[in-house]
Structure 1
Amino acid sequence: MLPNWLTEEYIQKALRSFYKDEQLRVLKLWAKPATEKGENFIGVMTRIYVEFEPRDGSVEKKSYILKQAVPSDAPQARIFAEYDVYNRELEMYDVVLPKMSQILEEAGFTDKLMAKAIIVDHSRTIMILEDLAPLRYTNADRVKQLDLTHTKLVLDMLAKFHAAAIILNQREPDLLSHNYASHFFSREKEGYEEVFIGLFRAFIRYVKTKPNLSSRYAAKLEDIVTNLMDYAGRSVDVEEKDLQTLVHGDCWTTNVMYQYDDEGNPTTVLPIDFQFSTWTSPAVDLHYFFSTSLKTDVKELETELVQYHYYALKRTLEALNFKGVFPSLFEYQLQFERRRFLSVVIANTFQPIMVYEGCEDPEFVNLYQDTPEGVKFQDSMYENEEIQRRIDTILPILDAKGFLDAH
């Protein structure tokens, strides 16, 4: 169902501007949902189909993606409004990403950094983007997760993203200084505190069902939950000596799309969904990505993957004629390690949602509220045997590194 304002006249005006064709005529307009229930909690995505006649008299049919805010009566609407995620993404598509793309193009990088925006309408808080499906972009399997080839493509993409943002900030230092400070763990905001504490309590509840885990870690995890947002917030904080850039902020399997060759090998990757782009350390993107999206055997290569990203970022910055101070690999690994508390939170609370295959109701409030429906959903997340194996592996490591102690 199309919103009332999305008329043939509206889309015709947008397409005339985008294609620079004042004679373009829209002949037909229709739509269907672009995501299933539980696949996207932050926005409403609709695939719209347009049949139109450009100036040459031919008839074309193309599809586009309409992105809207969730309805104002949705439980999560208050949270997303507090973090201003919609206006942030509008500015990303309208201003920031085109400038970053131009910076990369100037240096000869040709891979797409973004889906083209047909229109960014700030008055309605909507965007209409090119549909990436006809360009043969598709998501990898979020449950099977990413092998090494898929992973390295994302790290190469993030290196370009991070490098372009560093150069953009040098050219226009005021552009990224206003709307990119808040993140999931912002201390001055409250919405995600309720979400993450609810998720973390569900994780503790699972740990307590396993005597070998409960005896060693339950008390420490109970102590952590009282300081959860502060500890996680410190992981996003940056100091003057830290490498700083704009991060994607929500980089995981479903927020990157791949093109494949005829043999099924991934060849290029494109990021989507920039509601949580934040000015911080690039290591924040790496922790989030590693903790949510990698196959177990790839995750075990974490130190080497940080090294891979480091050199990709360094090469890209050199190609962009970066003149600033760049850390040594040793310093960069330390900056990554200091943010490992993110994996305490993300790996143990977000990843079970991201690979969920169960049949409980995936309503947003069920992720974290202690209602009967919520508890049933949360407990079912930890029935995944692969998640259980990962928890068995990660808790001793985090404990040995001191990240389960008060700090």
Structure 2
Amino acid sequence: MLPSWLTEDYVQKALGNFYKDNQLRVQKVWAKPATEKGENFVGVMTRIYVDFVQGDGTEQKKSYILKQAVPANAPQAKLFGEYDVYNRELEMYDVVLPKMANILREAGINDKLMAEAVIVDRERTIMILEDLAPLRYTNADRVKQLDMVHTKMVLDMLAKFHAAGMVLNQREPELLSRNYDAHFFSRSKKGYGEVFTGLFRAFIRYVKSKPNLKNRYADKLENIITNLMDYAGRSVDVGEKDLKTLIHGDCWTTNVMYLYDDEGNPTTVLPIDFQFSTLTSPAVDLHYFFSTSLQSDVKQQETELVQYHYYALKRTLEALSYKGYFPSLFEYQLQFEKRRFLSVIIANVFQPIMVYQGSEDCEFVNLYQDTPEGIKFQDSMYEDMEIQRRVDTLLPVLDAKGLLDAH
């Protein structure tokens, strides 16, 4: 069902401007949902199909993606309104990402940085984007997660993204000083505090259900929960000697899309979904990505992966003739380690949602509210044997690093 305002005239005007073709004529528009229930909590995505004739008489049949805010009566609407995620993503597609792509092109780096925006309509808080599916972009399997080849491609992409963000912030600091401070763990916002606290309580419930974990960690985790968002907030703080740039903010398996060659090898990767792009340390993207998206054997090489990203970032900044502070590898590893608390939260309470294969109702409120349906869903997340194995592996490491103590 198309919104009433999305008429053939509206689409025709948008496509005419996008293709710079005043003679373009739309003949037919129809649509169907672009995501399944539970795949995208932040917005509503609709695939629009358009038959049109170009000014030179060429007939075209193309599809596009309409991104809209969740309905005002959705339980999460207020939360996403507080973090201003929709206006932020509109500006990313309309202003920031094109500027970043231009910065990279200046150095001969012509990688595609995003899906092209056909129209960014701030009045209606919507975007129509090119559909990446016909271009053969596809997601990797969120449950199987990423091997080393897929992982390094994302790190190369993030290095270009972070480098372009650093140069843009140097050139136009006022642009990124607006509306790019609201990460999940921002102290000035409250909404995600309730979400993460609810998720963390579910994690503690699981730990208490396992005697060997309960005896060692339950009390420590109970003490953490009162300072949860403060500890996480410190992880996105940036000091004077910290690298600072625009990060993707929500970089995980489902928010990157790959192109593959005929042998099934990935050749290109493209980021999507920029609602949580934030001005902070690039190490925040690395922790988020490592904690949500990597196969276990790949994650074990985390230190080498930080090194890989560091050198890719350094090379890109040199190509961009960046003039500014850049840390040594040792200093950058310390900046990454300083944000290790993020893995306490993300690996233990976010990743189980991201690889969930169960049958319980995955409505947004069920992720964190202690209703009967919510508790049923949350408990079912930890029934996965791989998640249990990861918790068993991760908790001793976090404990040994002092992250489960007051700090």
Q: CA deviation at 1:172?
A: 1.0
Distance 1:26 1:338 in 2: 54
1:196 aligned to 2:200?
no
- Structure 1 residue aligned with 2:61: 61
- Structure 1 residue aligned with 2:350: 350
Q: CA deviation at 1:92?
A: 0.2
Distance 1:328 1:346 in 2: 27
The CA deviation string for residues 165-200 of structure 1, in whole angstroms up to 9 with x for no partner, is: 101111111110111011101112111111000000
- Structure 1 residue aligned with 2:179: 179
The CA deviation string for residues 23-78 of structure 1, in whole angstroms up to 9 with x for no partner, is: 00000000000000000000000000000000111210000000000000000000
Following superposition of structure 1 onto structure 2, how do residues 221-370 of structure 1 map, counting pairs within 5 Å? 221-370=221-370
- Structure 2 residue aligned with 1:27: 27
Distance 2:162 2:188 in 1: 26
Identity of aligned residues (%): 82
The CA deviation string for residues 215-273 of structure 1, in whole angstroms up to 9 with x for no partner, is: 00000000000010000000000011101000000000000000000000001100000
Look up the SS of the partner of 1:133 in the other structure. Answer: coil
Question: Could you tell me which amino acid in structure 2 is paired with residue 395 of structure 1?
Answer: L
Look up the SS of the partner of 1:32 in the other structure. Answer: strand
Q: CA deviation at 1:139?
A: 0.2
Look up the SS of the partner of 2:174 in the other structure. Answer: coil
Distance 2:4 2:402 in 1: 55
Question: Could you tell me which amino acid in structure 1 is paired with residue 280 of structure 2?
Answer: T
Look up the SS of the partner of 1:134 in the other structure. Answer: coil
1:400 aligned to 2:400?
yes
Following superposition of structure 1 onto structure 2, how do residues 110-189 of structure 1 map, counting pairs within 5 Å? 110-189=110-189
Q: How many residues align?
A: 407
Distance 1:395 1:173 in 2: 40
Question: Could you tell me which amino acid in structure 1 is paired with residue 181 of structure 2?
Answer: A
Look up the SS of the partner of 2:61 in the other structure. Answer: strand
- Structure 2 residue aligned with 1:70: 70
Look up the SS of the partner of 1:142 in the other structure. Answer: coil
Structure 2 unaligned blocks of 5 or more: none
Q: CA deviation at 1:325?
A: 1.2
1:46 aligned to 2:67?
no
Distance 1:239 1:324 in 2: 15
Look up the SS of the partner of 1:259 in the other structure. Answer: strand
Look up the SS of the partner of 2:65 in the other structure. Answer: strand
Distance 2:190 2:163 in 1: 31
Distance 2:187 2:140 in 1: 34
TM-score between both structures, scaled by the size of structure 1: 1.00
Q: CA deviation at 1:351?
A: 0.2
Q: CA deviation at 1:361?
A: 0.3
Distance 2:111 2:38 in 1: 30
The CA deviation string for residues 312-334 of structure 1, in whole angstroms up to 9 with x for no partner, is: 00000000001111000000000
- Structure 2 residue aligned with 1:9: 9
Question: Could you tell me which amino acid in structure 2 is paired with residue 251 of structure 1?
Answer: C
Distance 2:171 2:278 in 1: 18
TM-score between both structures, scaled by the size of structure 2: 1.00
Give the aligned CA root-mean-square deviation in angstroms. Answer: 0.4
Look up the SS of the partner of 2:342 in the other structure. Answer: helix
Look up the SS of the partner of 2:173 in the other structure. Answer: coil
Q: CA deviation at 1:280?
A: 0.3
Distance 2:40 2:273 in 1: 10
Distance 2:188 2:47 in 1: 36
Distance 1:221 1:188 in 2: 24
- Structure 2 residue aligned with 1:83: 83
Q: CA deviation at 1:298?
A: 0.2
Question: Could you tell me which amino acid in structure 1 is paired with residue 61 of structure 2?
Answer: K
Structure 1 unaligned blocks of 5 or more: none
Question: Could you tell me which amino acid in structure 2 is paired with residue 159 of structure 1?
Answer: A
Of the structure 1 ranges 103-112 and 123-132, higher mean CA displacement relative to structure 2 is found in 103-112
- Structure 2 residue aligned with 1:213: 213
Look up the SS of the partner of 1:397 in the other structure. Answer: helix
